[in-house]
Structure 1
Amino acid sequence: MSHQPGLLRTSCFAPLFVTQFLGALNDNVLKNAMVVLLTFQAASWTTIAPELLANLAAGVFILPFFLFSATAGQLADKYDKAALARLVKLLEIAIVLVCGAGFWLHSLAVLFAGLFLLGLHSTLFGPVKYAILPQHLKSEELVGGNALIEAGTFVAILLGTLLGGLLACAGDGTAWITAVGLAIASAGYLAARAIPVAVPPAPSLAINPNPLTETWRNIGFAREKPAVFLSIMGISWFWLFGALFLAQFPAYTKNVLGGSETAVTLLLATFTFGIGIGSLLCEKLSARRVELGLVPLGSIGLTVFAFDLALASPATPAAGLGALGLMPLASTWRVLADLLLIGTFGGFFIVPLYALVQQRSKPEHGARIIAANNIMNALFMVVGALAAAGMLAAGLSIPMLFAVAAVCNAAVALFIYGLVPEFLLRFIVWMLIHLVYRLRVREFDAIPENGPALIVCNHVSFVDALVIMAACKRPIRFVMDHRIFRWPLLKFAFRTSRAIPIAPAKEDPAMMEQAFAEVGRALDAGDLVGIFPEGKITADGEISPFRSGMSRILARNPVPVVPLALRGLWGSFFSRKNGPAMTRPFPRGVFSKIELVMGAAIPAAEATPERTQAVVAGMRGDCV
């Protein structure tokens, strides 16, 4: 069941969502209204060419991200984020008045000052909105919360862009722009007043005003955990990728599709709708946990459909058709489908990455790591814009630019997944569970959020460990027979998850001793360790006696024991029912139902093999 509608009714999330939505809406109303006015009325404002003005405006807006993100991150870690949100919204009201003065005075300098302050507003609020989520939401709500924030942001960008353009073209447009901006900013301030207190994680932090040294320090915090830093790189790449596509929409519509201004809106709305769909689907597909397996799926979709967009682009443009005029053309539907799917897979890509950064960052560094992310986002977008401009100036067509972006996306994805194989591991596990089985998890939250525990489960098939990995929020280091560990098709998954191979004492006593020593080190480090105490995959569907190895582990590391029971895997392709496993092509068919039942943790002193076996057998019941 989706948890997102419920989040929008909670006092801990709804005010933040409304505040963020209205802030993004106002940024884009004011920014696009200025761009439209300066584009179509440039002669009455300045002698600078309209094309240069548009690029200057983009640069002025993004400059504060480089100058003040480091300071914004420090403020969000040192002070109550709810109080900061209210101050930022008051600043937004003042910014609208500055923009209004620029319109009234017909002053380009004042308008650009207002645009700079709008960028400052977004810079200050960025660390607040993302770093506050782990404080106000449960871990299983993080994906849903991030999905709503991302979907809301892109909808606000779309609506703000459309509204800003309409206001700029209206009679006495500057007065209307100021009035609407004030109304939105005031509503945002009222919403911010309802955000609950967020206790600062580092109240004694001394503010470093030097943006260069503090930025490098914040990047250092992110680099402490490779998965966090590589996630930031992935997020930044997505913003480069998305910004590149958005920037080409007007010229692509006019010069490639042969459409008018209304057709630009159609493309923008389709792309934005796709990102919203992908973001909101993330929670359902990930079962309300941070599912990194969606990230490779997202990157595959981005590459495939961006490349297909290049192929789908018509060789000859139509004759200035509007949105309705383009719709009967078959090529238009393929282009729109590609844009929708690029947006959807983009949502799959970015939402889990944001949630991972929040979940795995140290709380006392959370806002500063988000600030580092914002700086990298801005840097990537600037570099992407310059690279795109250079390639287009060199004669590359817009469809070919999309094809180059698709190839680069594949290269970046392979680079990231090579450095952090956990993403590919989760993708393999996620695909297995969703393409072969329908997994139901009866979860009692017995696995601790942090710290060591011993996970024990009955052993039914060759994929038991992968099923448990798919259901568990935390990584588990499984102890498994060395022959299964080396099985060709699953070896990558087991090696990447740092599984521990073991052999019977009579076969290889040295490997067995080495395995027990590694289990001890893993538990000392606070990891979860998973074992199958039967010591072998069942050959008759019954649970074999649990062996004494678990007692030896608990004697050295008296950690809680979490019992699990697998149901429904007996008779599957990977089980040994009626002979060797994997010799009968899906005897129960694909998409068969399986269950994982989790019981309450058993204290180490009470977790004898006999009692643990009885608990697992009771949870499994007659459903094997």
Structure 2
Amino acid sequence: MSDPTRNSGEHSQFTLLASRRFGPLFATQFFGAFNDNVYKNALVVLLTFQAASWTTLSPGVLANLAAGLFILPFFLFSATAGQLADKFDKALLARLTKLLEIVIILLAGLGFALESLVLLLAALFLLGFQSTLFGPIKYAILPQHLRPDELVGGNALVEAGTFVSILLGTLTGGLLAGLEGGTVWITGVSLTVAVLGYLTSRGIPHAPAPEPELRVNFNLVTESWRCIGYARENRSVHLSILAISWFWLYGALFLAQFPAYTKSVLGGGEGMVTLLLAVFSVGIGGGSLLCEKLSRHRVETGLVPLGALGMTLFGLDLAWASPSLAPAGAPLPLLQLLQDGNTWRLLGDLLALGICGGLYCVPLYALVQQRSNPAYRARIIAANNIMNALFMVVGALAAALLLDQGGTIPTLFLVAALANGLVAAYIFTVVPEFLTRALVWLRLRRE
């Protein structure tokens, strides 16, 4: 059956959701990101409150160990994942990765039943591995199934859906962990979502391999370096990957501070942490969806400097507007915090920062897909994933060092925002296309 949106003059990105060329991929990605965060956050909550019955390690060590285990596969296996996505049909690989997810959740269920920390952490590592395999598939398949004028809209929906699913998965994981018999609920919900993800993956149309004769090199070091070399062949692609990786460092740094920021700066509790996470995630999703309208259905690199400027300005204002010291005593109720006008200023900064982040990253993803050599596009996406993981780890270490030396969280936000401005200035200096297009875009908007 033909896809009515294939030759349609309708350009709304939301029509893609009803298209077989995109809808099943979107749903598969949404369920996968949701499931990762349900299990990851539920496990962290359980380890925080029940670690004493499973291990002698402290909850803080366990939480950081869990985060590290999930991201480690992106370092180790992204290069292999990129090769597989260039060698085999991406739709077939998507279905196989979703079957793997079902097996991993069953392993996690066994870990809960046996109260085995080793099995539970192994399942978390394997979920990271499964996400690593799926990463090059979801981005490299878009140019195969979407027209050039649909590429921005497709990427916008993927980014918006990813952040919404992260938010919902995080909230769901925490809720399930707090229920009586929570481990059964976690396993049941995760298994159901994994099965749904497999069913939606069966609807993804075939995406023939660009290089079926490729011989897979399992040497992780040499192949990772080769993937980065492919990315470096095109200067704009390489610098776009660095810019995307900086975005993930910047966003992850802010997200990681929300619990401590709420407690030690705002004087709030869990409800405020959830609100900060929701506002930031909705902002990124909204900014991503705005890209298609503002770019007029083309890859508009002119939005990137505008997004970078907003990320800097609103990051600075968030730091400046933050209280210097949290009120003493018990955490303040959410409603009481919302009666303070300054809280609304902080929420506005976070929302605007997220919107600008969406405007910044979506055109960069589309540019990487559009300008990459189709023969090894998935391996270039793999290089992007490797760099993203590296940048996030470096950002986390730098944040930990600053805070360990007595710096406050608002100071950390201030340093990050200033660094964002410097990084943006460097990228836009060496690739003047971004600034040139921004000036052209602004002139066209005025006309």
Shorter-chain TM-score tier: over 0.9
C-alpha deviation, 1:320, in angstroms: 1.1
- Which of 230, 253, 271 matches 2:239? 230
* 8 Å CA contact retained: 1:88, 1:124: yes
Higher RCO (CA < 8 A, seq sep 6+): 2
Match of 1:343 in 2: 354
One-letter amino acid of the structure 1 residue matched with residue 30 of structure 2? F
- Which of 301, 306, 310 matches 1:301? 310
* 8 Å CA contact retained: 2:267, 2:326: yes
* 8 Å CA contact retained: 1:292, 1:426: yes
Output the CA distance in 2 between the equivalents of 1:2 and 1:269.
29
Match of 1:432 in 2: 443
**C-alpha distance after superposition, 1:255-312 (max 9, x if no partner):** 1011000110000000001001100000000001000000000000000000000011
1:290–1:186: structure 2 CA closer, same or farther, 3 Å change rule?
same
Q: Which has the higher strand share?
A: 1
Output the CA distance in 1 between the equivalents of 2:140 and 2:238.
16
Q: Which has the higher helix share?
A: 2
**Which ranges in structure 2 are unaligned for 5 or more consecutive residues?**
1-9
* 8 Å CA contact retained: 1:130, 1:358: yes
* 8 Å CA contact retained: 2:24, 2:201: yes
* 8 Å CA contact retained: 1:2, 1:284: no
Match of 1:401 in 2: 412
Match of 2:37 in 1: 28
- Which of 20, 24, 27 matches 1:18? 27
Match of 1:380 in 2: 391
The within-5 A match list for 1:345-494 is 345-434=356-445, 436-437=446-447
Match of 1:93 in 2: 102
* 8 Å CA contact retained: 2:283, 2:354: yes
Secondary structure in 2 matching 1:41: helix
* 8 Å CA contact retained: 2:11, 2:150: no
Q: Identity over the aligned pairs, expressed in percent?
A: 66
Secondary structure in 2 matching 1:8: helix
Output the CA distance in 1 between the equivalents of 2:226 and 2:418.
33
* 8 Å CA contact retained: 1:66, 1:375: yes
Match of 1:329 in 2: 340
- Total equivalences in the alignment: 436
One-letter amino acid of the structure 2 residue matched with residue 99 of structure 1? A
C-alpha deviation, 1:149, in angstroms: 0.2
C-alpha deviation, 1:323, in angstroms: 2.3
Structure ID, larger Rg: 1
One-letter amino acid of the structure 1 residue matched with residue 426 of structure 2? F
The within-5 A match list for 1:119-198 is 119-198=128-207
Output the CA distance in 2 between the equivalents of 1:83 and 1:31.
26
C-alpha deviation, 1:64, in angstroms: 0.5
Output the CA distance in 2 between the equivalents of 1:278 and 1:245.
17
Match of 1:218 in 2: 227
Output the CA distance in 2 between the equivalents of 1:2 and 1:296.
25
* 8 Å CA contact retained: 1:131, 1:370: yes
Output the CA distance in 2 between the equivalents of 1:268 and 1:218.
33
* 8 Å CA contact retained: 1:150, 1:279: yes
- Which of 251, 263, 266 matches 2:275? 266
CA RMSD of aligned residues (A): 0.8
Output the CA distance in 2 between the equivalents of 1:173 and 1:259.
26
- Which of 36, 39, 61 matches 1:52? 61
Output the CA distance in 1 between the equivalents of 2:336 and 2:133.
43
Match of 2:331 in 1: 320
* 8 Å CA contact retained: 1:82, 1:196: yes
Output the CA distance in 2 between the equivalents of 1:365 and 1:3.
30
One-letter amino acid of the structure 1 residue matched with residue 149 of structure 2? E
Output the CA distance in 2 between the equivalents of 1:320 and 1:330.
18
Secondary structure in 1 matching 2:21: coil
The within-5 A match list for 1:551-566 is none
C-alpha deviation, 1:316, in angstroms: 3.3
**C-alpha distance after superposition, 1:430-469 (max 9, x if no partner):** 11111x20xxxxxxxxxxxxxxxxxxxxxxxxxxxxxxxx
Output the CA distance in 2 between the equivalents of 1:211 and 1:284.
41
Output the CA distance in 2 between the equivalents of 1:432 and 1:321.
47
Output the CA distance in 2 between the equivalents of 1:168 and 1:279.
31
Match of 1:455 in 2: none
Output the CA distance in 2 between the equivalents of 1:2 and 1:137.
12
Output the CA distance in 1 between the equivalents of 2:196 and 2:443.
47
C-alpha deviation, 1:2, in angstroms: 5.4
Match of 2:3 in 1: none
**C-alpha distance after superposition, 1:348-391 (max 9, x if no partner):** 00000000000000101110000000000000000000000000
**Which ranges in structure 1 are unaligned for 5 or more consecutive residues?**
438-624
Output the CA distance in 2 between the equivalents of 1:267 and 1:342.
12
* 8 Å CA contact retained: 1:238, 1:346: yes
Q: TM-score, normalised by structure 2?
A: 0.97
- Which of 288, 291, 295 matches 1:279? 288
Match of 1:292 in 2: 301
One-letter amino acid of the structure 2 residue matched with residue 376 of structure 1? M
Q: TM-score, normalised by structure 1?
A: 0.69
Match of 1:4 in 2: 13
Output the CA distance in 2 between the equivalents of 1:180 and 1:391.
39
